[in-house]
Amino acid sequence: MALWAGLGLPVVVALRRARPAGLLRVRSIDLLWGLGVGGGLRLLQGWLSGAGYSTFPSLPSSPDSTAWGWLWSYGVPSILVAPVIEEFFFRAVILVGVYQLLRRGVGPLAAATTALLTSAGGFVLLHSAFSSLSLADGVQFFAVGAACALVVLLSGRIWGAVLAHLVYNASFMALAVVGTILA
Q: Which residue, 162, 23, 139, is CA-closest to 85?
A: 162
Sequence-ordered list of residues with C-beta below 8 angstroms from that of 4, at least 6 positions apart, any chain = 81, 82, 85
Torsion of CA 149, 79, 56, 145, to 10 degrees: 10
- What pLDDT is attached to residue 145? 98
- What pLDDT is attached to residue 170? 93
Instruction: Assess contact for 3 and 137: CB atoms under 8 A.
Output: no
How many Å apart are CA 81 and CA 9, to the nearest integer?
Answer: 14
- What pLDDT is attached to residue 61? 64
Task: Work out the pLDDT band at 68, boundaries 50, 70, 90.
Answer: low
**Residue 63 within a domain:** yes
**Residue 163 within a domain:** yes
pTM, to two decimals? 0.88
Q: Quote the number of domains for the chain.
A: 1
Task: Give the chain's length.
Answer: 183
Residue numbers of the domain that contains 29: 25-182
Query: Of 182 and 24, which is predicted with more confidence?
Result: 24
**Residue 51 within a domain:** yes
Q: Which residue, 158, 144, 171, 148, is CA-closest to 30?
A: 158
- What pLDDT is attached to residue 64? 57
Instruction: Assess contact for 65 and 180: CB atoms under 8 A.
Output: no
- What pLDDT is attached to residue 131? 86
Helices (H), the chain: 2-17, 29-48, 67-70, 76, 82-87, 96-106, 108-128, 135-155, 159-182
pLDDT exceeds 90 at position 120: yes
Query: Average pLDDT of 52-56?
Result: 68
